[in-house]
Amino acid sequence: SACGADNETSTTSEEPNNNDGSVETIQWKLAHLADENHIWHKTALKFADLVNEKTGGQIEITIFPNSVLGGETDVINSIKAGTVDLVISGETMANWAPKAALMAVPYAFRDEEHLKRVIEGEIGKEIEAEIKEKVGLTPLYYHQRAPRNLTSNDPINTPEDLKGFRMRVPNVPLFLSVWEAAGANPQVMDFNEVFTGLQQGVIDGQENPVDLIHSAGFYEVQKYVNETEHVYSWIYVLVGNEQFESLTEEQKQAVLAAAEEAQAYGQELFATETEGYISNLKDKGMIFNEVDQDAFREAMLPAIKQNLSDEQYELYERILEV
């Protein structure tokens, strides 16, 4: 379910806030790194329509895909500065809220049911609360994600094949640690710089779920999807705390009700479209390579313990128990 929605749906009425007696429309900007065909984009458009409808046109949200407003970390800083209003983000927020790292610990989630028990249970609420407090963003709804796989131009079957392998990871300290431990040479890069890095041979590979491999056109510059499935996770759609708190109570409830419906809409798209991404990538010539997942899990485990703080590791152990 979305974060804290109330089920009443209503349009909002508000005192005129212009001297001509009109009510000024609130214009919000939502930024994300996927393309216009991606589940995140289609769901964000639906969310914007629902918010506009439920507020009687008082809130208009414009969606900016393909990192056009900057990389994920830059956008989060822009929301704090008030020049952007919403973002789609996840474990990158660990740079402000340590508990967000627990969204993407390698091989932590056993299956979809386990993942949902964490997201929608006590632990998910603790992660959301720390994000709100330390990042200054309010989670509105989330997207379940396909597992992250490692892409390359030569097959990677075990960590032994990672010697000298220069790869990009998102701005997530834990990802740097686990891929170093597995034997690769990871470096942080914004998502919108990865294609060029691969095309120019600055990096040899990257890791992402099939939907983002497709969204960024990595099939043009990568041959193999090595099925490490090393991270199974989710990602939030978040609004700046200040932007959200500036709304009337009625407008807040309308946004939360829209988020609830957008959540269900996005989940339906996830269930029906993920398989399609795999066949699309195969049609584009990518080879899906089965790997020794246990070998990657074993290679990464020591780095998980070493990289996480005591508090993060305690939460990790709770996740394993759920």
**H or E stretch including 280?**
helix 249-283
In this chain, which stretch among 84-92, 152-160, 218-226, 294-302 interacts with ligand CS2, using CB under 6 A?
A: 84-92
Give the residue among 133, 122, 268, 285 at the shortest CA–CA distance from 217. Answer: 285
Choosing from 65, 70, 90, 186, the residue that interacts with ligand CS2 (CB under 6 A) is 90
Choosing from 78, 89, 138, 263, the residue that interacts with ligand CS2 (CB under 6 A) is 89
Q: Counting contacts by CB under 6 A, is residue 191 touching ligand CS2?
A: yes
Q: Counting contacts by CB under 6 A, is residue 208 touching ligand CS2?
A: yes
User: What are the distances in angstroms from CA 66 to CA 32, 88, 229?
Assistant: 6, 12, 24
- Pairing mode of beta strands 26-31, 59-64: parallel
Tell the smallest beta-carbon distance from residue 212 to ligand CS2 (Å).
5
Choosing from 235, 256, 262, 300, the residue that interacts with ligand CS2 (CB under 6 A) is 235
Q: Counting contacts by CB under 6 A, is residue 167 touching ligand CS2?
A: no
Taken in order 225, 228, 230, 234, the sign of the CA dihedral is positive
In this chain, which stretch among 88-96, 109-117, 221-229, 291-299 interacts with ligand CS2, using CB under 6 A?
A: 88-96
DSSP states along 125-140: HHHHHHHHHHT-EEEE
Torsion angles phi and psi, residue 188, rounded to 5: -80, 140
Identify which of residues 172 and 258 has a Cβ nearer to ligand CS2 in the complex: 172
In this chain, which stretch among 44-52, 87-95, 157-165, 290-298 interacts with ligand CS2, using CB under 6 A?
A: 87-95
Quick note: the x/- pattern for ligand CS2 over 127-166, rule CB under 6 A, is ----------------------------------------
Q: Counting contacts by CB under 6 A, is residue 92 touching ligand CS2?
A: yes
Give the residue among 195, 240, 211 at the shortest CA–CA distance from 40. Answer: 211
Identify which of residues 90 and 266 has a Cβ nearer to ligand CS2 in the complex: 90
Q: Are 61 and 86 in contact (CB under 8 A)?
A: yes
Tell the smallest beta-carbon distance from residue 137 to ligand CS2 (Å).
11
Radius of gyration from C-alpha coordinates of the chain: 20
Q: Are 139 and 128 in contact (CB under 8 A)?
A: yes
Q: Counting contacts by CB under 6 A, is residue 47 touching ligand CS2?
A: no
Distance, CA of 222 to CA of 320 (rounded, Å): 34
Choosing from 39, 48, 69, 91, the residue that interacts with ligand CS2 (CB under 6 A) is 91
Residue 301 exposed, middle or buried by CB count within 10 Å (0-12, 13-18, 19+): middle
Distance, CA of 314 to CA of 174 (rounded, Å): 15
Identify which of residues 39 and 235 has a Cβ nearer to ligand CS2 in the complex: 235
How many amino acids of this chain bind ligand CS2 (CB under 6 A)? 11
137-144: strand order across its sheet:
59-64, 26-31, 86-89, 234-240, 137-144
Q: Counting contacts by CB under 6 A, is residue 172 touching ligand CS2?
A: yes
Q: Counting contacts by CB under 6 A, is residue 212 touching ligand CS2?
A: yes
| SS3 state at 302 | helix
Tell the smallest beta-carbon distance from residue 310 to ligand CS2 (Å).
23
Q: Counting contacts by CB under 6 A, is residue 170 touching ligand CS2?
A: yes
In the complex, the residues that contact ligand CS2 under the rule CB under 6 A are 72, 89-92, 170, 172, 191, 208, 212, 235
